[in-house]
Structure 1
């Protein structure tokens, strides 16, 4: 059994430091709830039959110290492989930027229980989204 999750965490939209801190807390709480759900699925629903987990989506944060939340660190601390590990920053700028933030890595995949893999960005029309698509290849035994 492979569990696959897609998510979109709280944005960075804010006009005060208080709202910015709330955004960080909301992202971290979302990860706590997600990790608890995965654990329930692994141990209660599928009773140990889960061989791997893939979690991907727009996390609206990165692991470069640009934001003040621990969202990405929480995933790694929970035992997930971060598929951007080892990829140079300039090769993983998945969000094109705005007048408020420079281009950055908002889109991530995390895996657990499957062979380690690396994410890569795809190039598509500039008009399709403010994010570049990201893909990973996984092997299912």
Structure 2
């Protein structure tokens, strides 16, 4: 069956995903894809569907559908590319920023409650290991 530690990690990741999904179900108006896309635009600036698709390792059609939903809600708007009439970049609106930061604050509050009894060193290590896992090469 393979390395026991990988079996443990598999199970714990499945539980983590279920817990996070359940905990975030009743927070605000943003689903996971909206939260991640808005976070990307806030942290790195405007981006087009191709760039976002590459960064999130998704099909352009999936990102286009997700960004169209954000645009419909007034969270982002399109900036046309002057050189290519079909291309555009997405910029976040004030409403999008407001929704994102309110949602983020509620998420952080819930995570803080769960980690309340953890030491600062444990929280730091957990964050570092999650970052390392999420940035590991995926094929």
Report the TM-score range of the alignment, normalised by the length of the smaller protein.
under 0.3
Higher strand fraction (1 or 2): 1
Higher helix fraction (1 or 2): 2
Task: Give the structure with higher Rg (CA).
Answer: 2
